[in-house]
Amino acid sequence: MDSNPAGIELQGISTARDIAELSAALETAGGFVHGPRRPVLEKIREMRNETSDLHATAFDRLRRLGVSDHVVMAGLRRAKTSGATLVHELVSSAQLDQAAYYSLLASDLDLPFQCSIDPTRLITDMSGAHVIPGRTAQVCFRDESASLVFCVAPDLRVETQLTALFAKKPDMRARFSISDPQTIARAIEHKTAKRDVSTAINHLHEQALHLSAKETLIPSQAFVLGIFLTVFPLALWTAFWPTVFAVHVLAIILFGVSVALRVAAWKSMGKDSRTETQAGGPRDYPVYSVLIALHKEALVVPQLVRAMAHLDWPMSRLEVLYICEADDTETISALDKIRLPNSHHIICVPAALPRTKPKALNYALAKCTGEFIVVYDAEDRPHPQQLKEAWSRFRQEPESTACLQAPLDITNARQSWLAHLFAFEYAAHFHGLLPYLAKVGAPLPLGGTSNHFRRSALAEVMGWDPYNVTEDADLGIRLYRFGYRCGVLRFPTLEDAPERIDQWIPQRTRWLKGWMQTFLVHNRNYSELNKCIGSRNNTIFQILMISFILSPLLYGISILEIIYFIYTFDNMNISKVFVICVDLAIFIVGHIGYAMLGVACWQRLKGRAAAVAVLTLPAYWLLASVAAWRAIWKLVVEPHHWEKTAHEPAFKAKA
């Protein structure tokens, strides 16, 4: 029988035991499976003067592959700053072919090179299958003779340990083969695809049923809604004016509190000063994963890839994942036509319902390797310094700061009236309301893009809810329920707003439907929510969600009431006067409060007046009312359907 250095028989025992004992043998030889990372080489001079035969061999290997001394020295300098290995630094900058390097390494070690790995033969994945700087990609599989083979993509340190292992036990050489990290990653991705997509869909629902939007209403909520739908019509029938009075009094209280929140945000606006980013020291940069969920986005793919290439972050510590539905051949083909940087990868999500962005993000979360994660949308053009600002802030903030939201700035505000109002709305939200909420430590209704996360916090809160179509708002409050906090950044992400009503209505419908889902999910147990986040934060959350949902629903009704009472002015009585006064108060006060915050943010952001936006806000709110009533219908008939917003390359004119 074959034996390993520890004298353990590898034939005729269980696969799990095979793997465990083989790993133990490797740890005995050098401990590379779980051992600490160390720098590879500091300078080319040290490499040349190093007495280690392995270092001399590594340098000779690079030269045999045509890598010049000048390129190696530059790579060493970058590796010293980023903390990556020299080989990974050269591969990331496209100065070294990864497969060629590992193929030559296999030849030097007299081991077979696996240019491809059959996923069906994989036994398990030994964490670290993707390109993780300073870590060894590794898998186990059975070869054609059913023998166990340990396939690794070793760095220099592991190469040293393998050499020592084979010197002590030559028969162990038959148990090893070499491959490159990307080949190992692709094999594991294919092997685990079905399991991973199932986890992406079901994990939150299985682990925390009360936090999942898979069921729109729980029985107690359905019961309360049934009572309301029975009692309210009866109240209108039997006591019309008292019921109308009560509804209007409640409405003016809710609107008044919502307006007060925005006025407080307006009053808190101070001097706009940039947060200085702290430069990274040697070996200081963490791996940053960029997740971008794409669906039918072929038109904007070239623009997106250019925007990601402009991010100011060491390429060897950056991982950009383009997440596509497996049957979205158009988008995948558009990505394949572009020569993507080596740090950019395409992730194909197996087709499964629900087809939502959060499901795709959950799937990619299991594949990515970053300590920090940022989510972007297909049309985004983030500021190049945004990742550095976020990382600087994360280092300054306590561990409880789990998410940082970058502002979203609209660049096509001059292309249509609708885009102009959208830009005005975003200015108030991202430069006024969210900074105020972050300042007072309240829950943030996150935007769907440019959210920077600590990976550890995302894992603890079980990622995104695949059944919630505004996964951002839901995740914002769920982070608070788990004791985390959110903040805001200064460096923005540029986006384009929908320019046509047929684009705007479906998008706004989805947002409103998702806010309804979020409100229902987190109010399933009001007392528990209050206990988790505190009464003050709970009050702010309720005000925000109710204003987001009820304001557009009631706005259209109020306008219709005003028109009706004006039309029947000759038949007015005290009851009608009261109602019309309340409606007018809601209209005027709401308009003033919203406009104050919006104008202040707009002038700071654009440096010009916002007269058009202020004067035409009522028409914009009427469109929102249409979307709100449509959202109720969609919540009933297709609660988890994701209405896609079509995107086009950015218009280059100044906004």
pLDDT one-digit tens code per residue, 333-389: 999 999 899 899 999 999 999 999 999 999 999 889 899 999 999 999 999 999 999
Span between the terminal Cα atoms of the chain, in Å: 74
HEC profile of 192-226: HHHHHHHHHHHHHHHHCHHHCCCCCCCHHHHHHHH
CA distance 38 to 161: 14
Whether residue 28 has pLDDT greater than 60? no
Residue 77 tokens read as 């300098």
Q: Hunting for tokens 């479906």 — which residue is that?
A: 506
Under a CB-based contact definition with an 8 Å cutoff, are residues 499 and 416 in contact?
A: yes
Under a CB-based contact definition with an 8 Å cutoff, are residues 636 and 561 in contact?
A: no
Mean pLDDT along residues 64-90: 84
**416-435 residue pLDDT tens:** 999 999 999 999 999 999 99
**558-590 residue pLDDT tens:** 888 777 777 776 666 677 777 777 777 777 877
Q: Which residues are 137's β-sheet partners?
A: 153
643 versus 1: which is more confidently predicted?
Answer: 643
Under a CB-based contact definition with an 8 Å cutoff, are residues 482 and 461 in contact?
A: yes
What residues contact residue 326 under an 8 Å CB cut-off, 6+ apart?
348, 349, 350, 351
HEC profile of 554-579: HHHHHHHHHHHHHHCHHHCCHHHHHH
pLDDT of residue 325: 95
Which amino acid is located at 420 in the chain?
A: H
Helix axes 471-481, 357-365, angle to 10 degrees: 50
Under a CB-based contact definition with an 8 Å cutoff, are residues 142 and 14 in contact?
A: no
Lowest mean pLDDT among 279-283, 296-300, 499-503, 533-537: 279-283
- Here the contacts of 590-596 (C-beta below 8 Å, separation 24 or greater) are 590/255, 590/258, 590/259, 590/551, 590/555, 591/617, 591/618, 592/259, 593/258, 593/259, 593/260, 593/262, 593/263, 594/259, 594/262, 594/428, 596/262, 596/263, 596/266
CA angle 18, 24, 30 (to 5 degrees): 140
29 versus 586: which is more confidently predicted?
Answer: 586
Whether residue 475 has pLDDT greater than 50? yes
**124-169 residue pLDDT tens:** 544 433 333 335 577 888 887 777 888 888 877 788 888 888 888 8
Q: What is the DSSP letter of 338?
A: S
Whether residue 77 has pLDDT greater than 70? yes
Whether residue 104 has pLDDT greater than 60? yes
β-pair type (485-488, 401-405): parallel
> Exposed e or buried b for every residue in 254-267, given b needs 16+ CB within 10 A?
bbeebbebbbebbe
Q: Other CB atoms closer than 10 Å to residue 241's CB: what's the count?
A: 14
Q: DSSP per residue over 431-480, as a string?
A: IIIHHHHHHTT------SS-EEEEHHHHHHTTS--TT-TTHHHHHHHHHH
CA distance 508 to 494: 19
440 versus 590: which is more confidently predicted?
Answer: 440
Mean pLDDT along residues 162-178: 87
Q: How many residues does the chain have?
A: 655
Lowest mean pLDDT among 195-209, 227-241, 465-479: 227-241
Residue 173 tokens read as 């050489």
Mean pLDDT along residues 457-469: 96
Q: Which residues are 345's β-sheet partners?
A: 321
Q: Tell me whether the omega of the peptide bond preceding residue 282 falls within 30 degrees of 0, making it cis.
A: no
CA distance 641 to 355: 7
Helix (H, G, I), strand (E, B) or coil at 540: helix
pLDDT of residue 89: 86
Global pTM exceeds 0.85: yes
Q: DSSP per residue over 60-76, as a string?
A: HHHHHTT--HHHHHHHH
Whether residue 655 has pLDDT greater than 70? no
CA distance 362 to 347: 12
Lowest mean pLDDT among 45-49, 228-232, 254-258, 303-307: 45-49
Helix axes 535-567, 240-267, angle to 10 degrees: 120
Sheet holding 372-376, edge to edge: 344-349, 318-325, 288-294, 372-376, 451-454, 401-405, 485-488
